[in-house]
Copies of this chain bind each other. A is one copy, B any other.
Amino acid sequence: MHSLIMVAHGSRRATSNTEVQALTDQLRARLSDRFEYIQCGFLEFAEPSISAALDAAVRAGGTEIAVLPYFLARGAHISEDIPRVILAKQLQYPAVTIELKPHIGASPGMLELLARAV
């Protein structure tokens, strides 16, 4: 089963986390032909954690799980923190394929999105 976990930083502000949840809901509707399961996970300040989100995806039957970091810049979270969680979960679930995608800020479409936003 193809699953997608969108990972976000998480904020002390509940409204910010709700925004991520709403975007995840929209993504679930938009990509229902490609992923049977789409949820989000947070690095800090919000639930579920990335680790808990991956556990839930596996429990739901996920065998190929894509992880999409909703981050703009390549900081320590992208270079170290998120890969560390993914590695631990990959070792925990050897029968599951977990693929870490590039962070959204590295997407080739970002320039056009910015250009259209002004």
Contacts and interface: CB of A to CB of B under 8 A. Distances in A.
Number of copies: 2
B114 A27 contact: yes
A30 to B, nearest CB: 5
A92 B111 CA distance: 31
Contacts of A104: 72, 113-114, 117
Contact of A118 (B12, B31, B105): B31
Interface string A59-75: 00000001010111111
Nearest to A15: B74
Nearest to A24: B114
Interface of A: 4, 6, 8-9, 11-13, 15-17, 19-20, 23, 26-27, 30-31, 34-35, 66, 68, 70-76, 79, 101-102, 104-105, 107, 109-118
8 contacts: A6-B114, A13-B76, A27-B111, A27-B114, A30-B115, A31-B118, A68-B114, A104-B117
